[in-house]
Chains A and B, each alone.
Chain A
Amino acid sequence: MSDSTHGQGPGEPEEGSLPGAQGETGEESQGRHRVIGTPSPAESRLLLAETAGGSAPGLPAAKPRTLPADPQDMAGAKRAEKIVAACFILAMLAGFGFIASYVIFQVHSVTNVLHSNLALGTCMGLAFLLLGVGATIWVRRLMPYVELTEMRHPMRSEPENREAFADTFKEGADTSQFVKRPILRRTLIAATVPVAVAPIVLLRDLGPLPRESLDHTVWRKGMRLLNYGANTPIRPGDFSSPGGMITVVPDGFQNDFNALAKAACIIIKFAPGQVVYTDHDYPVPNLTVKNWTVDNIVCYSKICTHVGCPAALYEETTHHILCPCHQSTFDATRGAKVIFGPATRPLPQLPMTVDAEGYLVARSDFTEPVGPSFWERGNSS
């Protein structure tokens, strides 16, 4: 990073000073071109005890290096000092600016917040930026770069130490009688097992067991379909023409997210002949169950059979229902079969009819679990 100053420590540091702290003094005392050898006195004096011994076997007599001329450096150092100080003063001002902004700029509306954020953030960013710039210039321009060499030792301990450790360990094991008395050892281990299992048992009440809960939704026979949002019941006659997709929810649960996370449905009105029907009373692959529709109005689960996002997009021209999460695509005219994407199963169809007052109602719950696959689901349908 600091190639410009890459080299050895300064030649003659003052007694007792670190190379880094010694700054301009060393520079002044040097000639125009200071030639530095290795190891520099600074280094040999300052290295750690452990490093001082081994005079870096890998380090051959380094080529003499030339540092930039001193007078320039002198002036440069003075300038650098001023710049650094200026940075720090500005950082301080930015810090004050932050506090001032906190007092001046109030929040409680979008515009106010934007202004406050701008003022606070700019001050904060500048304060840190200037601190960083100042510190960097300080390091680069005022602290001579000293390259030191420290010796490594293999991570593996010396044989004596390993042996000594092994002895101590064995001694301890013997003293404790852990090895000699297997009955103690075994009973201790036996005692710890249930103690270790206990915390896991404690987690049991985190939630109920799934049991059959994933197989059903809140839909029941005769429950009205409400137009989600307006929460009004729907008559087949409300559809003036075939067209878009409407989200519907079971009457009584329009605000219950836990129910809706499984029970949400979509209905689509088709023109005669568009839907490919089966006359069976159960789902048949690639077909829509005719008895479960009313006037070419079809109702499918809105919960994607992939991992459960709402399948919220509908393309009227192609009759494709698209889940925006991973783009599983279902053909609404053919029992919502999967035509692309990672989902494996069609969106389940909700059996539908009309009640005495002519509103769309469920004939029953879904005949299969809705939403993502799960282990216990099997083929249930």
Chain B
Amino acid sequence: MSIDKALSGTGSWLDDRLHGAKGLRTFFRKIFPDHWTFLLGEIALYSFIILLLTGTFLALFFKPSMTEVVYHGSYIKLDGVHMSEAYASTLNISFDVRGGLLMRQIHHWAADLFVAAILAHMLRIFFTGAYRKPREINWLIGLVLFTLSLLEGLFGYSLPDDLLSGAGLRITQGVLQSIPIVGTYLSFFLFGGQYPGTDIIPRLYILHVLLIPGLFMALIGAHLFIMFHQKHTQMPGKGRTNQNVVGAPMYPYFMAKTGAFFFFTFAVLALAATFAQINPVWLYGPYNPLAISAGSQPDFYMGFLEGALRIMPPWQWVVFGHTFAFNVFIPALLPLGGIMTAAALWPFLEQWITGDKNEHHVNDRPRNAPTRTALGMAAVSFYGVLWAEGANDVLAQHFNVPLYTITWIARFAVFLVPIFTYIITKRICLGLQRKDLHLIQHGVETGIVRQLPSGGFIEETRPLDEEELAALGRPVALALPSGEGGAEAEVPAPDMRGGLGRVKARLNKIVNESVPIDEHGANGHGANGHGANGHGANGHSATAEDHAAVSSGSDDEG
């Protein structure tokens, strides 16, 4: 019917000119594996699109100028007040442009969602090991995107030039100024002189609406292109190997689903903007370097910086007439810079430690890589402590604890909590692995209780079917490929000798800590890395050894 007409008409017209049939068909048949965590990146992408749309609307009305004006708009409480044009135009968008307040609030909620989604997406990638070869480049791009998103959020937040955002700018300036050697120069060049000056809003504006969004577009484009080219990773499961990708095709299934998802994202943001007020700048008043609203909180993604600044003891050196303001630049730069550097190096460090140079397309379940998972959780808890300390005044009030006590607790917790988290996470992972092993060896409880001839009762179990078994994933995620001679090999492999080699061997042992499933004859790690033949038969041997202890036939599986 009309599809044929469209194809032979428009379609053929376009193909005559663009030679698109083959490429587009490949595109349509692109396979997208299904897992809920794969949606996180999509949320980030859609928030970004929404930011572009709403941001463009705002830019039609916003005046990025610090020229002083006297306000005579619709918000009567500020009538006659001196303020910058930026703040006045923000009031104007909110009160005199139909839909302006809605767009501002969607923009702000979308910014929060954007950062949150990137963060969650990143954690997903880390904990499932999806950053491994060949995806290291995309991991690095992702880290840059995340850092840029923090900057973009901070700059956007500063644009309205209200009292709250002014405090954020003031802190930014103080931090810049504290950087050794170049600090004052950076600050003077950014602000066009002494703080606050009259240049900063227009400058942040052009960074916020042109430069950084442009970088975003380029990097997101590269990110998606590489993802497309390398094809998605997939969670372990039956029939999923490092040589294939199993899922639904782009057209029509994924398109429809992801389209629906875009609508949901937009709907959630629109409803949030309707019912949950965000950044009511008119209540804060215009910026004034002499005033500050107590108890004000920055956007959530800046909370950890705030906490880091609060937690830092007052350390400072003066050496040969020069000031090292450790109390400022360490907390401002180290938590983000340190972790981002570590995150950027980790894929390569892991490769070095494990000697694993293979491509990985089947993800790890977090439990199957206990050391990686524990490291990740330790980093998360580190941020958690800083973030909580960023709200220490709220906590103090809520729990009725003296403010200083909370800061003192946090000063220790920031070191201790990650260590405990590391240990506990590792234990939990190993425990979960043991549970999986138990399932493999003893099957699943069916809930049917049977009396044994001896008179005792036993609950019937059935062995895992192939699908369940495959979904457990491969327990030892980071094992050295056997060919390379593991850390425990009698004669260490060449690269395990010498000082660095010993460090490597020791790290390798830590990183490989896992429940030794193989020793129990349960070598049916699903299909991962075993191609076609590592599957059916092994699935049986997983249960064969122990089936005497269990009851119902482990032989009629499948």
Residues of A within 8 A of B (CB): 1-2, 18, 20-21, 46-48, 56-60, 62-63, 102, 105-110, 113, 116-118, 120-122, 124-129, 131-136, 138-139, 143, 145-152, 154-155, 203, 206-210, 213-214, 228, 247, 249, 255, 257-258, 260-262, 264, 302, 306-310, 312-313, 324-328, 338, 340-345, 371-379
Contacts and interface: CB of A to CB of B under 8 A. Distances in A.
Interface residues of B, number: 123
Nearest to A376: B184
A145 B274 contact: no
A59 B309 CA distance: 54
A124 B314 contact: no
Contacts of A149: 31, 239, 244-246
B266 A128 contact: yes
A308 B29 contact: no
Interface string B427-463: 0000000000000000000000000000000000000
A342 B309 contact: yes
Given A113-B94, A152-B245, A260-B289, A209 B185 contact: yes
Contacts of B266: 128
A249 B290 contact: yes
A324 B461 CA distance: 62
Interface stretch (B111-119, B174-182, B546-554): B174-182
B474 interface: no
A146 B296 CA distance: 51
A309 B292 contact: yes
B321 A378 contact: yes
B252 A143 contact: yes
A209 B95 CA distance: 41
Contact of A121 (B231, B275, B318, B359): B275
A108 B95 contact: yes
A148 B249 contact: yes
Interface in B453-501: 465-466
A58 B528 CA distance: 9
Contacts of A261: 194-196, 289
Contacts of A117: 101-102, 105, 273-274
A128 B96 CA distance: 25
Contacts of B328: 306-307, 342, 372-373
Contact of B190 (A120, A206, A377): A206
Interface stretch (B207-215, B255-263, B337-345, B379-387): B255-263
Nearest to A109: B74
A342 B313 contact: yes
A309 B244 contact: no
Interface stretch (B149-157, B368-376, B510-518, B531-539): B531-539
B471 to A, nearest CB: 12
B261 A107 contact: no
Question: Can you list the 5 inter-chain pairs with the closest CB atoms, starting with the nearest?
Answer: A307-B174, A121-B274, A57-B532, A132-B263, A135-B260
A113 B244 contact: no
A139 B289 contact: no
B321 A379 contact: yes
Contacts of B527: 58
Contacts of B97: 107
A56 B535 CA distance: 13
B310 A342 contact: yes
A303 B26 CA distance: 62
A162 B6 CA distance: 42
Interface in B319-353: 320-323, 325, 327-328, 331
B194 A214 contact: yes
Given A20-B253, A340-B404, 20 more contacts: A57-B243, A58-B243, A63-B465, A109-B95, A125-B268, A131-B260, A131-B267, A206-B189, A213-B194, A228-B290, A258-B194, A264-B289, A306-B309, A306-B328, A324-B296, A344-B316, A344-B327, A376-B184, A376-B323, A378-B321
Contact of B532 (A58, A124, A152): A58
Contacts of A56: 239, 244
B134 A155 contact: yes
Given A58-B535, A108-B96, A375-B322, A1 B264 contact: no
B9 interface: no
Nearest to A18: B252
Q: Which of A102, A214, A302 has the most CB of B within 10 A?
A: A214
A344 B325 contact: yes
Contact of B74 (A107, A121, A313): A107
A310 B189 contact: no
B325 A324 contact: no
Contacts of A247: 290
Interface string B282-325: 00000111111011100000000010011111111010111101
A107 B96 contact: yes
A59 B534 CA distance: 11
A210 B185 contact: yes
B521 interface: no
Contacts of B197: 258
A46 B260 CA distance: 25
A224 to B, nearest CB: 17
A124 B102 contact: yes
A125 B74 contact: no
B90 interface: no
B167 interface: yes
A118 B275 CA distance: 7
A266 B88 CA distance: 29
B61 interface: no
Nearest to B403: A327
Contacts of B403: 327
Contacts of B246: 59, 147-150
Contacts of B295: 324
Contacts of A379: 318, 321
B532 A255 contact: no
B426 interface: no
Contact of B309 (A209, A302, A307): A307
A207 B173 contact: no
A150 B29 contact: yes
Q: Which of A116, A206, A343 has the most CB of B within 10 A?
A: A206
Interface in B76-99: 82, 94-99
A150 B241 contact: no
B365 interface: no
Contacts of A325: 167, 171, 292, 309
A148 B29 contact: yes
Contact of B171 (A46, A63, A307): A307
Contacts of B261: 132
Given A309-B167, A344-B316, A152 B231 contact: yes
Contact of A207 (B177, B188, B274, B275): B188
A8 B259 CA distance: 23
A309 B180 CA distance: 20
Given A1-B36, A257-B196, A378-B322, A210 B188 contact: yes
B426 to A, nearest CB: 31
A5 to B, nearest CB: 11
A139 B181 CA distance: 59
B252 A20 contact: yes
Contacts of A340: 404, 407
Contact of A58 (B26, B75, B187, B239): B239
B63 interface: no
A9 to B, nearest CB: 10
A18 B437 CA distance: 42
Contacts of A148: 29, 31, 246-249
A207 B31 CA distance: 53
A45 to B, nearest CB: 12
B107 interface: no
B177 A374 contact: yes
A154 to B, nearest CB: 6
A373 B323 contact: yes
Contacts of B533: 57
A132 B260 contact: yes
Given A128-B266, A342-B309, A312 B292 contact: yes
